[in-house]
Structure 1
Amino acid sequence: MRFFKYLSVSILSSFFFMQCSSAQKLQKETSFKTSNVYYQKWVAGVKGGGSGTNVFIPLTAEQKEITLDSLYFRGHKVALETKPNSPKLYIGRIIGSANQKEGYTSSGDKIPFDLKDNEAVVSYSENGNVKYFKIENISEKPMQQFPSAPPRK
């Protein structure tokens, strides 16, 4: 009886671990194309206004059957979003630790991918299935420094 219990637990564990390892398998080809993926650091012009890095992922055509969900970049996992007037441009916003209000702590997630500084992984859903795609050679644009508001008189 113990043998069967051990065997069934072993089989269930094996299926669980196989599912976990296949859940993050990178796709070699996707049904969508990206162009000129880049990131840009930014800093606010006021003390405590924040800083961070925005990653821009433009799609060459709007895809109704897919939805880009999350971005894994430089040790962070963040949600991807679009703006209503730019449905083909996805943006991942990583909040930095510089120029933050007191008490701010950065949450560097442990990501399940081994990436270089100019690489990212995008998770997306296609026909109800979550898939992962690696983007290489992400370029950096010059830092964007937002000016502070003029003093009130």
Structure 2
Amino acid sequence: MKHIYLIFSSILIFSFFTNCGGNKGLQDRAPAKFQAVYTTTENSRLNLHIPVTVIQDSRISLDSVYFRGMKSALVQNEELPNKYVAEFNIKDSEMVMSSDPREEYGNKAPQKPEKSPFDIESDEAILVFSQNNQKKYYKLSDITDWN
């Protein structure tokens, strides 16, 4: 009887650890149907555009993205609701330094580098999304630069 209890306990513990570890890995299935992902550059900003053709809004929420050593929140475009955009500061813009704080009002803080939880190439990004209140990751590949 002790052997059966030991075997059953081992199987239960093993399945618990394998299920928990699997939630933190990259997802094989895309959380939505995407068109070609691309970037544009404006002044000191790099914008990552993620066009979505089909998504289940009630179950899936696109949260943020890791791209080229940075992390940024994804914002749904107001004019085109099927497009999500992440904005990255890529250049140090000139900052106004003054004894009058009102003159420094327009200064933007530089974006801090943030390492991706997975190894990716320069034409790849890690999409962070929530599905049924669980945080998950998906790799976006073949990102093109439009300039």
CA RMSD of aligned residues (A): 2.3
Matched residues, number? 119
User: Compared with structure 1, are the counterparts of its residues 27 and 62 closer, same or farther at alpha carbon in structure 2 (3 Å cutoff)?
Assistant: closer
User: Within 5 Å, which residues of 2 pair with 1:60-99?
Assistant: 60-64=53-57, 65-99=59-93
Q: CA deviation at 1:105?
A: 3.7
Match of 2:8 in 1: none
Query: Higher mean Cα deviation, 128-137 or 82-91?
Result: 82-91
Secondary structure, aligned partner of 2:123: coil
In structure 1, what residue type is equivalent to 2:131? Answer: E
User: Compared with structure 1, are the counterparts of its residues 129 and 116 closer, same or farther at alpha carbon in structure 2 (3 Å cutoff)?
Assistant: same
User: Within 5 Å, which residues of 2 pair with 1:137-148?
Assistant: 137-142=142-147
Secondary structure, aligned partner of 2:73: strand
User: Within 5 Å, which residues of 2 pair with 1:36-51?
Assistant: 36-43=36-43, 51=44
User: Compared with structure 1, are the counterparts of its residues 52 and 76 closer, same or farther at alpha carbon in structure 2 (3 Å cutoff)?
Assistant: same
Contact 1:62 1:87 in 2 (8 A): no
- Is 1:35 the counterpart of 2:35? The answer is yes
Contact 1:97 1:106 in 2 (8 A): no
User: Compared with structure 1, are the counterparts of its residues 106 and 81 closer, same or farther at alpha carbon in structure 2 (3 Å cutoff)?
Assistant: closer
Runs (4+) of structure 1 exceeding 6 A deviation are: none
Identify unmatched segments of 5+ residues in structure 2: 1-15, 98-108
Identify unmatched segments of 5+ residues in structure 1: 1-14, 44-50, 143-153
